């Protein structure tokens, strides 16, 4: 199925000693452009996270942010080196100033950096798997929203395509009548210019044939119909490759045929339908830009 490039997904779980919340947002972009915002405890895994996203998301600007909501407290840790230095300093002060009494442990622990409350923010390489699994869960949620939006866009595309197809078929029906009308107009114009002199029917038929060839849009209509079939097929299948690029290419080809048909039109009704087609193609282009 088609997928929109706009989506949102979240997941929360344990990564080592941390409870981590991952949030993913995507918007349309021609290429895969990730933007990762990881806390320092997870920054060492940035490359792994980027590659994990690349496997799942083909196109779009992807913003991933991770937040550490809670850390398991490892407990209080005494820095023995600083503790010994503090004891030595206290003894030196006591002896220098002739103070009485033993060295108080509580006083030593109040020295800066002797007693630390530690939260171990170092994660082992093995714990990257927990983070990547969490990213996968957030990506699953993201893909679900992109698929739902893609289904909605697919229906919008098909509705607009039906309008184009209707206008194209009106042009196809109009072409034979237009040649007949232009032939009759030419006869009248030539008769007026020659003042009633007998016309050379062979010469007139030749000129009409040249004009009919110049105005002929049968090939353009046939190619346009083929592009419509390919467009519908791509919307229906979604394709393993990003469908948005293929649909964008087909729209370019349709616009090319519409422009050629308009230049050959020489008819108010045909030109009116060409304008309708080009307006709908522009609406389609705007929607296709949001597809992966």
Answer whether 90's CB lies under 8 Å from 103's CB: yes
DSSP-H helix ranges across the chain:
46-56, 80-96, 105-109, 128-194, 201-215, 218-237, 243-265, 268-288
pLDDT at res. 112 = 76
Answer whether 8's CB lies under 8 Å from 53's CB: no
Answer whether 34's CB lies under 8 Å from 54's CB: yes
CA dist., res. 179 & res. 218, Å (int): 13
CA atoms within 13 A on the CB side of 234: 23
Q: Is the per-residue pLDDT at 166 higher than 80?
A: yes
Q: Report phi then psi at 101, rounded to 5.
A: 100, 160
CA atoms within 13 A on the CB side of 136: 9
Average pLDDT across the chain, whole number: 84
- The more confidently predicted of residues 255 and 210 is 255
Stretch among 87-96, 152-161, 177-186 having the lowest mean pLDDT: 177-186
Average pLDDT over residues 261-282: 90
- The more confidently predicted of residues 6 and 79 is 6
Percent of the chain residues topping a pLDDT of 90? 45
What is the dihedral sign for C-alpha 14, 131, 28, 148? negative
Answer whether 66's CB lies under 8 Å from 22's CB: yes
Q: What is the pLDDT of residues 30-85, one digit of tens each?
A: 889 999 999 888 888 999 999 999 999 988 999 999 998 755 544 556 778 888 88
Q: What is the pLDDT of residues 188-225, one digit of tens each?
A: 666 666 666 666 667 666 766 666 667 778 889 999 99
Model confidence at 155, pLDDT cuts 50, 70, 90, reads: very high
Model confidence at 120, pLDDT cuts 50, 70, 90, reads: very low
- The more confidently predicted of residues 288 and 215 is 288
Task: With CA atoms as reference, report the closest residue to 131 among 66, 56, 71.
Answer: 66
The CA–CA distances, whole Å, from 187 to 83, 86, 118, 207, 268 equal 114, 116, 99, 11, 20
Domains (ranges, CATH) in the chain? 7-73+123-145 (3.30.230), 75-118 (no CATH), 146-288 (1.20.140)
pLDDT at res. 117 = 47
CA atoms within 13 A on the CB side of 241: 4
pLDDT at res. 76 = 57
CA dist., res. 25 & res. 146, Å (int): 10
What is the dihedral sign for C-alpha 175, 180, 183, 184? negative
Model confidence at 233, pLDDT cuts 50, 70, 90, reads: very high
Average pLDDT over residues 149-163: 94
- The more confidently predicted of residues 68 and 183 is 68
Average pLDDT over residues 157-185: 85
pLDDT at res. 36 = 95
CA dist., res. 37 & res. 66, Å (int): 6
Tokens of 288: 């296709």
């Amino acid at each position: 199925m088609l997928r929109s490039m706009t989506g949102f997904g979240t997941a929360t779980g344990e990564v080592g000693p941390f409870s981590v919340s991952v949030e993913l947002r995507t918007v349309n972009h021609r290429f895969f452009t990730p933007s990762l915002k990881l806390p320092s405890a997870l920054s060492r895994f940035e490359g792994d996270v980027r590659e994990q996203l690349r496997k799942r998301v083909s196109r779009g600007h992807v913003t991933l942010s991770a937040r550490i909501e809670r850390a398991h407290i490892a407990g209080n840790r005494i820095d023995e080196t600083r503790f010994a230095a503090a004891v030595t300093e206290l003894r030196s002060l006591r002896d220098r100033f002739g103070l009485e009494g033993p060295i108080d442990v509580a006083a030593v622990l109040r020295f800066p950096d002797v007693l630390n409350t530690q939260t171990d923010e170092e994660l082992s390489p093995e714990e990257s798997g927990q983070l990547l699994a969490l990213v996968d869960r957030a990506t699953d949620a993201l893909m679900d929203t992109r698929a739902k939006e893609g289904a909605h866009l697919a229906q919008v595309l098909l509705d607009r395509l039906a309008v184009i197809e209707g206008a194209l078929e009106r042009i196809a029906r109009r072409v034979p009548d237009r040649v007949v009308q232009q032939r009759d107009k030419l006869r009248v114009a030539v008769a007026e210019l020659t003042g009633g002199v007998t016309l050379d029917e062979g010469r007139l038929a030749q000129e009409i044939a040249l004009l009919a060839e110049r105005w002929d849009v049968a090939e353009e209509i046939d190619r346009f119909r083929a592009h419509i079939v390919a467009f519908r097929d791509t919307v229906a299948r979604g394709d393993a490759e990003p469908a948005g690029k293929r649909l964008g290419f087909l729209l370019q080809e349709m616009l090319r045929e519409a422009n050629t048909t308009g230049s050959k039109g020489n008819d108010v009704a045909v030109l009116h339908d060409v304008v309708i087609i080009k307006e709908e193609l522009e609406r389609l282009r705007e929607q296709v830009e949001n597809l992966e």
